[in-house]
């Protein structure tokens, strides 16, 4: 019976994360092309959607398959884990805030779109790096 509830919990989280991704896709309308800023608009929207998929996958893996909490008694490992937590917090806030305030930049929107695309790609790289260095109990 325990495996059934565990499977149900996995299924609920997968359904919730898919729902979040679908809502983000509907709100962003990634293939709605702006006439003046075609490439930069598509770049920021697609990089955000890729970021969101990687971030939701990272959260799912950490919630269910992370081997051990990173907190240890040794000060070096605690400092390193605090650095990783800061990276995850920045990975959560920077792209989301960036995609929400993009319409406030009217004059330099192309530059802003490319900067946020670069930040999204850096965030994707950081999350993939964190996925590779963590120990998983799959």
Predicted TM-score (pTM) of the model is 0.84
In sequence order, what are the beta bridge partners of 136? 66
State the greatest distance between any 2 C-alpha atoms of the chain, in Å, as a whole number.
59
Q: Is residue 138 part of a domain?
A: no
**Neighbouring residues of 55: CB distance < 8 A, sequence distance ≥ 6:** 91, 92, 95, 123, 127
Taking only the tens place, the pLDDT of each residue in 71-90 is 454 554 555 677 888 888 99
In sequence order, what are the beta bridge partners of 66? 136
The range of the structural domain enclosing residue 123 comes to: 2-133
Give me the chain's average pLDDT, please.
85
**Residue 114 — pLDDT band, cuts 50, 70, 90?**
very high
Cα 13 from Cα 15, distance rounded (Å)? 5
Tally of structural domains, the chain: 1
Q: Is residue 122 part of a domain?
A: yes
The pLDDT value recorded for residue 63 is 85
Question: With pLDDT > 90 as the criterion, what percentage of the chain qualifies?
Answer: 48
Give the CA distances from residue 89 to residues 12, 82, 94, 107, in Å, rounded to whole numbers and listed in that order. Answer: 24, 10, 9, 30
């Amino acid at each position: 019976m325990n495996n059934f509830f565990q499977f149900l919990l996995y299924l609920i989280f997968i359904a919730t994360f898919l729902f979040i991704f679908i809502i983000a896709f509907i709100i962003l309308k990634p293939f709605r092309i702006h006439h003046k800023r075609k490439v930069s608009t598509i770049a920021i929207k697609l990089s955000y959607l890729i970021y969101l998929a990687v971030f939701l996958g990272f959260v799912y893996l950490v919630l269910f398959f992370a081997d051990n909490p990173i907190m240890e008694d040794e000060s070096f490992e605690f400092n390193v884990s605090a650095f990783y937590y800061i990276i995850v917090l920045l990975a959560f806030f920077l792209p989301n805030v960036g995609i929400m305030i993009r319409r406030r930049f009217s004059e330099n929107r192309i530059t802003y779109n490319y900067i946020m695309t670069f930040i999204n790609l850096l965030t994707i790289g950081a999350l993939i790096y964190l996925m590779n260095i963590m120990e998983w109990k799959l």
